[in-house]
Amino acid sequence: MGLEEKLPSGVLLSTVEGLAGYMRKASFWPATFGLACCAIEMMTFGAPRFDSARFGMEVFRPSPRQADLMIVAGRVSNKMAPVVRQIYDQMAGPKYVLAMGVCASSGGMFNNYAIVQGVDHVVPVDMYLPGCPPRPEMLIDAILKLHDQIQHTKLGSNRLAEIKDDEKTALLATPTSAMKGLMR
């Protein structure tokens, strides 16, 4: 005899964190930020064939103050990096960043002085999407994984403890400069 059997039909039990997570994941408003060829695939994601409206992303917002997801699609030049940061700072919280494509994730084939070697040097990235360019199906998969991550995010003091644990784990991780790859 559980509590569920004593309640009338149509009653739903949940937590505040569960409801808030469900509402936040179902109402993403992405900012338009296409920098290179990946932007074409991002635009395709918003077109009728892939229909981003199915995921609560009706329109790409023209203003960062109306957006909570920044999809950085393409390479970020050193000249564009301060603009990316300014747009990120103007976004309302909670805010999320998706690095779309190998150029946004790691600089891609552009290993030179003009290109930032990963947008995570400019803004904190929540999800990396590999590919050159990644297909719209891959973007859908990344957004669904981000939805899952957001739905299970804790609130209040629980969130602060989660952030502290994540920062501690990141500080203990091996820096990329110390990593040794397979040399041939």
* Known binding-site residue numbers: 37-38, 103, 132
Beta strands per DSSP E along 16-62: 30-31
Task: State phi, psi for 129 to the nearest 5 degrees.
Answer: -120, 105
Taking Cα atoms as reference points, which of 87, 77, 86 lies closest to residue 107? Answer: 77
Indicate the annotated binding residues for [4Fe-4S] cluster: 37-38, 103, 132
Cα distance from N-terminal residue to C-terminal residue, the chain:
65
Check whether the bond before 133 is cis (ω within 30° of 0).
yes
Running DSSP on this structure, what letter comes out for residue 99? Answer: E
Q: How many CB atoms sit inside 10 A of residue 8's CB? A: 5
Taking every pair of Cα atoms in the chain, the longest distance, rounded to a whole number of angstroms, is 68
- Whether residue 127 contacts residue 145, with contact meaning beta carbons closer than 8 Å, is answered with yes
Q: Which residue has the tokens 């409206």?
A: 53
